[in-house]
Structure 1
Amino acid sequence: MTDDDSAGTAAADRADWLAVRAHLRLNRHQLSISARHCYGGAPTVEDTALLTRPEWLPERPLEMDAVRTEWDDTPASPGRDAALRRVAQDSGLLPRRDDVGRFPSYSAAMRELARPAVFEDRFTYQLRHADLTGGPDRSCMRFGAGSYFDGIDLGEACAHEYAASVMRLGRATPRHAAPPRATPLRDALGGPCRPDDRPSNLAVATLVLRHDPATGHACFPLHWRDPAKVGQAGGLYMVVPVGIFQPAGTGPHSRVNDFSVWRCVLREFAEELLGEPEDPGTAEPIDYGTWPVAARLDRERTRRRIRTYVLGMGTDALTLATDLLTVMVIDAELWDELARRMSGTNAEGRLVTTGETEAPRLFRFDEAEIHRLVTELPLETAGAALLRLAWRHRRDLLG
């Protein structure tokens, strides 16, 4: 084979990879629904495609602070991770970089061939174990050290592999079909809800409910994730805010300072709804007491004008991304005050607005509206599950 032939083969391989990537981006919602069939009778959250396990679903909502976060210093198995990388290489999932060989990882291919605007390999609190059924005294989550690209190299690669297999079958988006067979990376990962068996980053998904105590009515905003800006779940609608559980800063002190689900939710709320930078601009750990937005939200939470709950956890069948499902209930008067600062566009996409102004559109928190959104909108799996789960627990959430 000549150098020209080698270059041509590599170029064709990259073009094929980009075609699958485009198919994944355009059909992500239906592929997520279809991928559920890869796991047979695995339990799901509220009859959605979000996979779960019994100990991840408490009978009633838990106050967020009642769920302990614990640190696990046990290092991940380098042999296991190397074996998974070899499967990705050997299966042809990674495109050829040139005549020498393939890209070393899916994130490396994305960085060079299809890089979104937000794409940085940062430290993450990687989920090792969770049990949310012990009530307020014994419910806990355990974490170890990880990185953002772990989720890309395995989860997004699995989604790509599944999309490619579906394309080979000649069916663009099979909603109710037997799972494609050519998925060696997915098969090597084993059970989808086993964070002890594979690197598993955790996203914290939060449904914000504007609640009017006088009438009992509640409503909520939604967010559209721009595929040009984000590496995961681009093109889908989602509850807001959502963020990977990770520290804001890069130093070891930030890792200790930010090891809190509430502080993750707080920062994402400030960023995605209020237009604040996630890191207020200091190289040192965030001082939440002097950051005005954080201090205000902390104060209102103490006063119970903001109430935060954990409803459960689940794993997306397509990407194997795991989400902690949480709810933030905000008194209507406080929401209306904060809403005056809200803007439609942010670093990861845009809020769904009324169309006339940049103010976020609020959807009714009722059974008919939730059913319409879940069945008609390309809603991210975790968002669909969270809406249905919140409706089931509405009396506990809204009192």
Structure 2
Amino acid sequence: MDVVDLWTGRRASALRASLRMTNEAFAAHLGAAVRTVATWEAKPDMVLSATMQEVLDSALKSAGEDVHRRFAMILGDTAAEPVVRSTTRPAPEAAVEASQQAWRKVRRHLTEQGIDLAARTADLYDADLRIDHMPALSIPAWLPPQPVLLDEVTLRWNESPPKPRLTGREAEARTALPLRSPGNAFANYTSAIRYLRPPALFENRSSYRLLDVDWSGGRGVMTFGLSTFFDKLDVGEVLAHEAGVADLSGDLTWKQLPYRSLLGDAFDLSNRAVNPGISTLTIRRDTTTGEGTFFLLRRDPTQVTNGRHYSLLPAGEFQPASISPRSLAVDLDIWRNMVREYAEELLGQPEHDGSGGTPVDYEVWPFYRDMAAARQAGSIRPFILGVILDALSLNAAIATATVIDDHVFDTLFRDRVTTNPEGEVITSLGKDKSIHGLPFDEETVTRLVTHEPLGQTSAACLTLAWTQRAVLLDLD
């Protein structure tokens, strides 16, 4: 064995995270000042004093095996004794490869077992936070007592939202960040995705960050600020990855989820960038019988970050359609976002991906004008069902349902596609063939939410819609 590694700010911060202590508790444990510990977090490359080297050596040596294991994982070290350099330790390049392979293994687990893992993760939370038996969470303040027509919802803008408390760069997040080069981990989770397992669609676009929800008075007020897509992923994907590691080890408990524990209240919108997607159940209503049918998308994991399952159609991020500052105000509109997604996912039109410089001119877009006219006439009725969280990543979705009369649907979507850049449009399950979609009935809804790989927020949205079907389909 060679000499013990020198203690730097990064190694000291890793020990604090491994001990699962706050800065204050860690400082008390070492007999140091809180300001000193905070400095280590801010200056990861600084070499600590000789006296503090001895204190930290002693603290690590007296810690248990679980602390040593977490310490090694945070630093990305595969050696059995992470404190010392050993002649038997793998070459630096081998350590990097092992770290990245372990990361990819967890990503495969999230793709293949994500829905079941979400259900197991949801079991960690209080039962009254669950939406029925779905692996999705919400609270009464986020769920209106009945569907709210989109006309009754006001969106407000906060020009200077507070910075989120967590960003995905905290010491507790480092177990989810593989090595990029010897001794250097990726700075954030999206960097790891981009270099190690990039889907076809992966751009850091501007997104709307949810800051407040209020359903009082039978109407709705939602407040938003500006964020980016990666701000959301850098926290949400760390939460999911951490759960995946714990699940693979057979110990999915709060004790093994330090980053989720650090987050605290999942419904505190100041804790992280909560950039919601919009998940829409599209119901084609037969005006003769009053019955409905709907559609699914079988997502392609090579195209999107969370693939290989069904989702409702359409679904997408709530974000501006261009990089123009004018789009921030013009596109702060749930309906416009939904119409763009309809055009992309059901008609195969080019995506307004947020990378262009020209805002969408909705007044001259024929499809938008037709959709807006049908909505004005009452033939299209969009509702908001509430805001929900995927229990695994804690990503949010605005659950919506759009009811479209059959003759209007058949005209607007007569050129409906069977595939789009995100996957395959599904109109039936098994051998049953239908051009009008899956029946919106108890048998189909039960099958989807209990036996089919339907994504968490989609399952919750479908469940909420089925519960409120009388209002949606005007059955009273």
When normalised by structure 2's length, the TM-score is 0.77
Alignment counterpart, residue 195 of structure 1, candidates 266, 269, 273? 269
Give unpaired runs (5+ residues) of structure 1: 171-177
Alpha-carbon distance in 1 for matches of 2:403, 2:393: 29
Measure how far apart 1:350 and its partner are. Answer: 1.3
Higher relative contact order (CA 8 A, sep 6+): 1
Superposition map of 1:118-197 within 5 A: 118-136=201-219, 139-169=220-250, 179=253, 181-197=255-271
Superposition map of 1:103-114 within 5 A: 103-114=186-197
In structure 2, give the amino acid aligned to 1:257.
V
Q: Does 1:60 align with 2:146?
A: yes
Name whichever of 114-123 and 281-290 sits farther off: 281-290
Alpha-carbon distance in 2 for matches of 1:306, 1:75: 34
Deviations 1:21-69 (A, max 9, x none): 1111100110111110222335222332210011111111111121111
Q: Which runs of 4+ in 1 moved over 6 A?
A: 1-4
Q: 2:316–2:341: 8 Å Cα contact kept in structure 1?
A: yes
Alpha-carbon distance in 2 for matches of 1:274, 1:112: 32
Name whichever of 37-46 and 19-28 sits farther off: 37-46
Alpha-carbon distance in 2 for matches of 1:95, 1:386: 34
Distance 1:42 1:72, change over 3 A: farther
Q: Does 1:72 align with 2:158?
A: yes
Residue of structure 2 equivalent to 1:95: 178
Alpha-carbon distance in 2 for matches of 1:287, 1:152: 30
Q: 2:200–2:304: 8 Å Cα contact kept in structure 1?
A: yes
Residue of structure 1 equivalent to 2:299: 225
Alpha-carbon distance in 1 for matches of 2:435, 2:170: 45
Alpha-carbon distance in 1 for matches of 2:128, 2:137: 7
Distance 1:163 1:116, change over 3 A: same
Aligned-residue sequence identity (percent) comes to 36
Distance 1:230 1:64, change over 3 A: same
Corresponding residue SS for 2:184: coil
Superposition map of 1:269-288 within 5 A: 269-279=342-352, 283-288=357-362
Deviations 1:290-328 (A, max 9, x none): 111111111111111111111111101101111111111
Alpha-carbon distance in 1 for matches of 2:349, 2:172: 38
Alignment counterpart, residue 169 of structure 2, candidates 73, 85, 88? 85
Q: 1:129–1:196: 8 Å Cα contact kept in structure 2?
A: no
Measure how far apart 1:282 and its partner are. Answer: 6.5
Q: 2:254–2:261: 8 Å Cα contact kept in structure 1?
A: no
Q: Does 1:296 align with 2:370?
A: yes
Residue of structure 2 equivalent to 1:173: none
Alpha-carbon distance in 2 for matches of 1:234, 1:33: 17
Corresponding residue SS for 1:73: coil
Deviations 1:258-313 (A, max 9, x none): 01010111111111111112329973211111111111111111111111111111
Determine which structure has more spread, i.e. the larger CA radius of gyration: 2
Q: 1:29–1:380: 8 Å Cα contact kept in structure 2?
A: yes
Alpha-carbon distance in 1 for matches of 2:130, 2:224: 23
Corresponding residue SS for 1:374: helix
Alpha-carbon distance in 1 for matches of 2:222, 2:140: 15
Residue of structure 1 equivalent to 2:34: none
Corresponding residue SS for 1:324: strand
Distance 1:39 1:301, change over 3 A: same
In structure 1, give the amino acid aligned to 2:255.
R
Q: 1:165–1:180: 8 Å Cα contact kept in structure 2?
A: no
Q: Does 1:256 align with 2:329?
A: yes
Alignment counterpart, residue 317 of structure 1, candidates 348, 371, 391? 391
Alpha-carbon distance in 1 for matches of 2:397, 2:121: 17
Q: 1:343–1:359: 8 Å Cα contact kept in structure 2?
A: no
Alpha-carbon distance in 1 for matches of 2:150, 2:362: 18
Alpha-carbon distance in 1 for matches of 2:148, 2:405: 19
Measure how far apart 1:100 and its partner are. Answer: 3.7
Alignment counterpart, residue 117 of structure 1, candidates 200, 215, 227? 200
Alignment counterpart, residue 111 of structure 2, candidates 15, 25, 28? 25
Measure how far apart 1:353 and its partner are. Answer: 4.4
Corresponding residue SS for 1:15: helix
Alpha-carbon distance in 2 for matches of 1:16, 1:153: 19
Residue of structure 1 equivalent to 2:137: 51
Alpha-carbon distance in 2 for matches of 1:44, 1:169: 23
Alpha-carbon distance in 1 for matches of 2:266, 2:95: 34
Residue of structure 2 equivalent to 1:338: 412
Measure how far apart 1:4 and its partner are. Answer: 7.5
Alignment counterpart, residue 102 of structure 2, candidates 3, 16, 19? 16
Give unpaired runs (5+ residues) of structure 2: 1-84
Alpha-carbon distance in 2 for matches of 1:145, 1:397: 32
When normalised by structure 1's length, the TM-score is 0.91
Q: 1:155–1:320: 8 Å Cα contact kept in structure 2?
A: yes
Deviations 1:88-112 (A, max 9, x none): 45x4220000114100000000000
Measure how far apart 1:381 and its partner are. Answer: 1.2
